[in-house]
C-alpha cells in the first residue's frame, strides 16, 4: 500500500510539472495571448490599468479593484506582486514574465489545494493510500488542469474553501480560535469571489460539531 501511495503521489507530481511547463506556451508576448485564453487578455488589461495607476501614485486604486467581480483581496496582491514584472515589460519589452506569473499563481493554488485535500482526508482518518488516491483524482479533474493554466480566481477560491474546511475540522483545543481562523479563511474565499461563500454552511456545521465535542468522523 505504501508503494502504491508513492506511485499515486508521483503521478500527481508529474501532472503538476506538465502544467507548470504548459503555462509557458503562447506566452512570448501579448500579441499571441489571444491564442491561449481570451480571459488572459482581458485580465492583463485590468492588471496593466492597475499598474499604471500605481505608477502614477494612486495607491488607493488597490483597494477599489473589483474587475470581473473579483475583489481587491485577489487583485491587490496580484498587482503588487507583478508590478516589477510590469516595469520589465515597459522598460525592456520582455512580456513573458508578466504573462506567465499569474498562471503559475493559479497552479500554486492548485498545489496548495492538493495539500489541504490530503490534510482534510487525514483528519477524517482516511488511510494514506486513500489520501494519495483522493489527491490524484483531484489533480486529474479536467477543471483542475484547466484553471491551473489560466489567469483567474477559481483555484484560489478552491484553496481557501478547502483551508476553511480543514480549519473547521482539525483538532484544536481552543474552539473560539478555531472558529476565528475558519471564518477568516472563509472571508478571504468570499472576498476573492462570492462563490467562495458556498462552503459557509458546511464550515458552520463542522464548527458546531467541534463546539459540542463531537468529531465529524464520529458523526458519520
pLDDT, one tens digit per residue, over 53-70 is: 998 999 888 889 999 989
Q: Quote the pLDDT of residue 172.
A: 81
Rounded CA gap, 53 and 68, in Å?
18
Nearest to 163 by CA among 144, 184, 141: 184
- Are the CB atoms for 152 and 199 separated by under 8 Å? no
- Are the CB atoms for 106 and 151 separated by under 8 Å? yes
Rounded CA gap, 27 and 77, in Å?
22
Q: Which of 34-43, 65-74, 111-120 has the highest mean pLDDT?
A: 111-120
Local confidence band at 32 (pLDDT 50, 70, 90 cut-offs): confident
Spatial CB neighbours of 215, under 8 Å, sequence gap ≥ 6: 171, 209
Rounded CA gap, 78 and 44, in Å?
11
Q: What is the DSSP string of 84-117?
A: HHHHHHHHH---HHHHHHHHHHHHHHHHHHHHHH
Q: Quote the pLDDT of residue 211.
A: 82
Local confidence band at 190 (pLDDT 50, 70, 90 cut-offs): very high
Report which secondary-structure segment, H or E, holds 194.
Answer: none
- Are the CB atoms for 167 and 182 separated by under 8 Å? yes
- Are the CB atoms for 192 and 153 separated by under 8 Å? yes
- Are the CB atoms for 100 and 44 separated by under 8 Å? no
Report residue 108: phi and psi, to 5°.
-60, -45
CB-neighbour burial class of residue 207 (10 A; exposed 0-12, middle 13-18, buried 19+): buried
Q: Quote the pLDDT of residue 2.
A: 63
Amino acid at each position: 500500500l505504501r508503494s502504491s501511495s508513492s506511485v499515486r503521489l508521483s503521478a500527481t507530481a508529474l501532472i503538476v510539472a506538465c502544467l507548470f511547463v504548459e503555462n509557458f506556451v503562447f506566452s512570448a508576448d501579448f500579441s499571441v495571448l489571444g491564442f491561449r485564453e481570451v480571459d488572459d487578455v482581458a485580465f492583463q488589461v485590468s492588471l496593466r490599468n492597475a499598474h499604471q495607476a500605481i505608477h502614477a501614485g494612486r495607491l488607493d486604486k488597490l483597494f477599489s479593484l473589483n474587475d470581473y467581480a473579483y475583489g481587491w483581496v485577489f487583485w491587490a496582491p496580484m498587482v503588487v506582486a507583478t508590478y516589477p514584472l510590469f516595469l520589465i515589460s515597459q522598460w525592456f519589452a520582455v512580456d513573458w514574465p508578466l504573462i506567465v506569473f499569474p498562471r503559475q499563481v493559479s497552479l500554486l493554488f492548485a498545489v496548495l489545494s492538493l495539500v489541504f485535500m490530503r490534510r482534510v482526508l487525514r483528519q477524517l482518518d482516511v488511510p494514506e493510500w486513500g489520501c494519495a488516491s483522493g489527491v490524484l483524482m483531484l489533480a486529474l479533474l479536467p477543471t483542475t488542469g484547466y484553471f491551473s493554466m489560466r489567469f483567474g480566481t477559481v483555484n484560489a477560491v478552491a484553496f481557501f474553501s478547502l483551508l476553511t474546511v480543514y480549519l473547521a475540522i482539525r483538532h484544536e483545543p481552543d474552539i473560539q480560535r478555531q472558529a476565528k481562523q475558519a471564518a477568516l479563511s472563509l472571508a478571504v474565499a468570499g472576498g476573492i469571489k462570492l462563490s467562495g461563500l458556498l462552503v459557509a454552511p458546511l464550515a458552520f456545521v463542522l464548527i458546531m460539531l467541534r463546539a459540542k465535542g463531537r468529531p465529524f468522523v464520529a458523526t458519520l
